[in-house]
């Protein structure tokens, strides 16, 4: 049975894809996943619906057209970094409570057999970015809690990025603290694949759709 994998998120998912071409996956973790699954002979169709700059409220505005209309079997949501970032570059903060309310509405309308929630991350490059990490901590906690409450699969990312930053330097993983290098994209892809590989076949059957 062909599985339809839909990825929704921000620039980390978008990764410079050609939005006029459904066969364009960008040059980030989604493209790596496509290549890895193809090498495994997986029977999948992959759809990238990342949009650079999106916060949760932006993703919610396009949810019906860009996400639900794609009919995902496996839906991946990778959002939250810009909910943190806009506080610091535009004085436009998103509280943890507002973030949770919007994210919860997305999950309430996630018509997919399996949902994976990718943990947002930051690897501070400058001293002031320590405050970024504090803001994002609250949003990561929200996502982990929602995954537990709803039965979605949580894809942990921050710990792997932090370890890699310690070993190789943060700039080798994400030069601005957020946008990944190829090595960072590989970390994301590996985290997603590890979660995907744990999905029981029974969860992907037609009767499992919510």
* Residue tagged active-site, from 36, 137, 176, 190: 176
Element at 190 (helix H, strand E): helix 182-196
Alpha helices in 26-176 (DSSP H): 29-39, 56-61, 81-89, 96-108, 129-150, 158-168
Supply the Cα-derived Rg of the chain in whole angstroms. 16
Q: What phi and psi values does residue 42 have, to the nearest 5 degrees?
A: -65, 140
Collapsed DSSP state (helix, strand, coil) of residue 154: strand
Would you tell me how many other CB atoms lie within 10 Å of the CB of residue 1?
A: 8
Would you tell me how many other CB atoms lie within 10 Å of the CB of residue 201?
A: 8
Examine the residue annotation and report whether 168 is marked as an active-site residue of this protein: no
Examine the residue annotation and report whether 95 is marked as an active-site residue of this protein: no
* Residue tagged active-site, from 22, 24, 179, 190: 179
Examine the residue annotation and report whether 176 is marked as an active-site residue of this protein: yes
Written as one string, the DSSP assignment of 159-178 is HHHHHHHHHH-GGGT-TTSS
* Residue tagged active-site, from 11, 14, 54, 185: 11
As a whole number of angstroms, the distance between CA 51 and CA 74 comes to 19
Active-site residue set? 11, 176, 179
């Amino acid at each position: 049975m062909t599985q339809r994998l839909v990825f929704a998120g921000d620039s980390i998912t978008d990764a410079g894809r050609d939005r006029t071409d459904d066969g364009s996956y960008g040059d980030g973790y989604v493209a790596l996943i496509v290549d890895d699954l193809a090498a495994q002979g997986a029977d999948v169709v992959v759809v990238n619906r990342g949009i650079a700059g999106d916060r949760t409220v932006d993703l919610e505005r396009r949810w019906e057209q860009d996400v639900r209309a794609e009919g995902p079997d496996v839906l991946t949501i990778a959002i939250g970094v810009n909910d943190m970032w806009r506080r610091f570059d535009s004085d436009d903060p998103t509280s943890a409570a507002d973030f949770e309310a919007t994210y919860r509405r997305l999950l309430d309308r996630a018509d997919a057999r399996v949902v994976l929630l990718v943990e947002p991350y930051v690897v501070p490059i400058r001293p002031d970015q320590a405050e970024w990490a504090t803001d994002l901590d609250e949003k990561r906690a929200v996502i982990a809690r929602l995954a537990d409450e709803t039965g979605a699969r949580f894809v942990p990312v921050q710990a792997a990025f932090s370890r890699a930053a310690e070993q190789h330097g943060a700039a080798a993983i994400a030069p601005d603290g957020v946008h990944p290098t190829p090595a960072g994209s590989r970390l994301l892809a590996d985290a997603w694949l590890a979660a995907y590989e744990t999905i029981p076949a029974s969860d992907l059957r037609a009767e499992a759709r919510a």
